[in-house]
Amino acid sequence: MNRNKPGTSAVIALVLSAACARPAAQAPAPVPAPSANGRTVSQTSPGAPIQGASTDSARGAPTGPKPYPRVITKEAKTRSGMFKTHIVGEKLYFEIPTRELNKDMLLVGRFHSSAPNPGDFDGYGGDQFTEQTLRWERSGNRIILRGTSFNVKSDTSAIGTAVVNSNNPTVISIFPVEAYGPDSAAVIDVTKLYTTGVPEFASSRGSVDEKRSYIERAVAFPENVEVEATQTATPPAAQGGPGQPPQQRRGPAPAQSVVAHWSMVHLPDHPMMPRYFDERVGYFSTSQIDFGSDEQRSVDRQYITRYRLEKKDPSAAMSEPVKPIIYYVDPATPKKWIPYVKAGIEEWQSAFEAAGFKNAIIAKDAPSASEDPDWSPEDVRHTVVRWLPSTVENSVGPHVHDPRTGEILNGSVRMFHNILNLQRDWYFTQVAPLDARAQTLPFPDSLMGRLLQFVVAHEVGHTLGFQHNMKASSMYPADSVRSATWVAKMGHSPSIMDYARFNYVAQPEDHIALNDLIPRVGTYDRFATMWGYTPIPGATSPEAERATLDQWARQQDTVPWFRFSTSGAKGSDAGDETEAVGDADAVKSTTAGLKNIKRIVPMLMTSMTKPTEDNSDLDEMYGRLVGQWRREMGHVANVVGGTSTQEKYGSQTGARFTPLPRERQRAAIAFLNENVFATPTFFLDPAILRRIEPDGAMARIRSAQAGVLSALLSNVRLTRMVEFGAMPAGAKDAYTVDQMLVDLRRGIWGELSSPSVRIDGFRQNLQFEYLSQLGAKINPPPVTPNPNLPAAFAFLQSPPPDQARSLMRMQLMDLDGQLRSALPRAADAETRAHIIEARNRIDVILHPQK
């Protein structure tokens, strides 16, 4: 949900298997076995060589398939399903019937029990460690396990052969057939798949120790096989940094054991008809390169990811689905939160009603061990909202889909326990003046549960196939989010998939209902669900759906709150913001938000301190409040050099990117000069500061101001502004880099025009930061390209444009003249020293070789 550094979780390993004594050797009985040409032959008398098998010349013993009872003994723990699974002593055997060969399967590996200190988002119970499409094949008396791919395809026979030849599936492992079952099913020993470091199966980084790894259990079902094993791995030893003496380097890392769970499941025998991806509606997607199209190039076929929903009554406008989407609630969830978790899941029912489905998504309690001893939350057939004992302040909602069609097969919402703390802090720092329940810690369960419901609904949205829609919150008029009647009907953001948290724009006098301060599944979410999940009668191919889907998407032309983030915007869209409310007019909305922040500062001492507690809550919440101020100011900064955008396809007229009017950008700089670069003295409450720290206020304020200044001077922003100002059409209306730099200098160095110049320590810090950042633009350090940066984000490493560097140099020359003129008017020694130092730094910037 948000980007924070994860913590760790504790581990309890549950050993589910019981060791069996090795059985005594028995004489093999004749059983049918396939020959090399696929026909069955009979085995001969005990001890005679098996047809097609090699013979040990020294002992005359067969080394090929053995009689079935010698391999699968009476002591075997057997489960029947897609494959038969047999645990015999310490070994795990698969008995693979002929009907399961050459079928597409999906392997998903997740942790059942994790190791201590698993690391960032990696290793908690339920976390996924592998996903692989598989296919089992037989070659003589060998079973070959291959990893398959569906990244390329062709429907034409000529190039189809070349596509197949250039996409040869990887051999994951080869298994000798140990025996054949009565139905010619191949019996193979798969123990090492799960107890060694086979890359496609390994759950741990480093070297897996086979001697400390073992099978826990195996369960077979008609469509899938579930295996659990303990894997113990030793990570590679970490080395010290460059130049660090050997004696200070870390030694070998200790081994860690996990209980890993692998689901192997059929991909659907009858693939769902895919639906084409459209940039105008925010779905995740899967893609294939099609070499068989009639276009004069290869075509990237993208399909949205979605669950397969089919109406029980296809003729009805509203029908229950043949198979509803079921979400289970983790039994580890604290009981008082379970009703809110379920409410977050089923909040999406209204969205599916827009697609014509009633009761499409249902929340259920997970069955108990007595109700279903084989039920597992790691089983890929079950979508589960997991509750993890972690200090991570986050939540995530990944899903698993059929790579051929985009059909979602499984979702996995992960709620890290300390998401509760993050929600508490956000709610306090954004809307505490509007809700008396939030003015005392701890929050009542009714409020905390409602905040939790919001988070669950957001993550469930991801598992249903939806991307974030950060643009949504800018699609409502800024005044509307302060209207009690509007937000009661529409919410304060059109999408719960936005990072629009709580309605910090609302004021006490607006009398907005408390429940309407919290996001909910909204107008965009219902539109997007309608677009992706509504059946289109008569359409028998993705191509046949396109005209209808285009018609639906064009509703965005007249209904702005149906819109999604614009592709390729490169951060230019001033309304495509995280953590924003009312950013259709960031200046107006941030002005209102700032009033709430100023109301909260005096509340901190009474709300965050208790007679018998320390000051940690006060310290944490003060820092979070400064962070909230910084974020809101950043929304205003993004107006400068910003654009308004709308994703459009060929059927729609007009530009996708339109520069914002000059006066709107200039107003944003004026607001920042007044509310960011003028010291925010309301934060400088000695009662708070001297309670939480001996010093640090100056550094904290400088850091926040530096972040806003850096955003204004970002290379991508300057590049846009240079281009907008250079365009023949509309150049006269552009807010140029020169105009922005002049307005910025006048705000940051405003004291220099006073008859008596006095610059305090906070402003000195800001002015030094200004010189530092301009110096880095004029004399940029060498940039080392990041090879791991995706091509779509390469623009983030672009250098500052030459035109901007020239204008910055001119600004520093003008500033130096102002400083020289102001020096005789310095009102105190600190100001005089600061002016002299500033001039020295300017000289170094302008003459680096001097």
pLDDT tens-digit map of 692-712: 999 999 999 999 999 999 999
- The predicted-structure confidence for 314-340, as pLDDT tens digits, reads as follows 999 999 999 999 999 999 999 999 999
**Are 73 and 26 within 8 A, CB to CB?**
yes
The residue type of 305 is T
Rg (CA), the chain: 32
pLDDT in tens, 362-386: 999 999 999 999 999 999 999 999 9
Within the chain, all domains assigned CATH 1.25.10 are found at 713-850
Q: How many residues would you count in the chain?
A: 850
Max alpha carbon distance in the chain (Å)?
A: 114
pLDDT of residue 126: 84
The DSSP letter of residue 407 is B
Q: Are 626 and 605 in contact (CB under 8 A)?
A: no
Average pLDDT score over the chain: 88
Handedness of CA 733, 739, 744, 746 (dihedral sign): negative
- Give bridge partners of residue 170 from the DSSP assignment: 147
Contacts of residue 528, defined as CB under 8 A and 6 or more positions apart, other chains included, come to 281, 282, 283, 351, 466, 469, 495, 564
Measured CA to CA, the distance from residue 337 to residue 573 in angstroms comes to 38
Q: What distance in Å separates the CA atoms of residue 526 and residue 522, rounded to the nearest whole number?
A: 6
Alpha helices in 638-760 (DSSP H): 662-675, 686-692, 697-712, 715-726, 737-748
Q: What is the dihedral sign for C-alpha 317, 319, 325, 329?
A: positive
CATH class of the domain defined by 713-850: mainly alpha
For residue 224, give every residue at least 6 positions away whose Cβ sits within 8 Å of its Cβ, in sequence order, or none.
81, 82, 263, 264, 265, 266, 379, 380, 381
Residues 382 and 121 sit within 8 Å (Cβ to Cβ): no
* Amino acid (1-letter code) at residue 368: S
Beta-carbon contacts of 773 under 8 Å, excluding residues fewer than 6 positions away, are 706, 709, 710, 713
CA-CA distance, 621 to 539, in Å (whole number)?
55
Say which residue the tokens 């039994």 belong to: 331
* pLDDT given at position 115: 74
Distances in Å between the alpha carbon of 661 and those of 325, 470, 667, 672, 729?
A: 47, 22, 10, 17, 14
User: What is the bridge-based pairing of β-strands 383-388 and 325-329?
Assistant: parallel
Residue 63 has pLDDT above 80, yes or no: no
Q: How far apart are CA 688 and CA 679, in angstroms?
A: 17
| 723-748: pLDDT as tens digits | 999 998 766 789 999 999 999 999 99
Does position 167 have pLDDT exceeding 60, yes or no?
yes
Give the tokens for residue 728: 């023949």
Rounded CA separation 6/82 (Å): 38
The tokens describing 661, both together, are 């009017």
Which band of pLDDT confidence, cut at 50, 70 and 90, is reported for residue 9?
very low
Structural contact between residues 86 and 93, judged by C-beta atoms closer than 8 angstroms: yes
pLDDT at 81: 96
Residues 6 or more apart whose CB falls under 8 angstroms from that of 579 comprise 499, 500, 501, 631
Is residue 575 predicted with pLDDT exceeding 50? yes
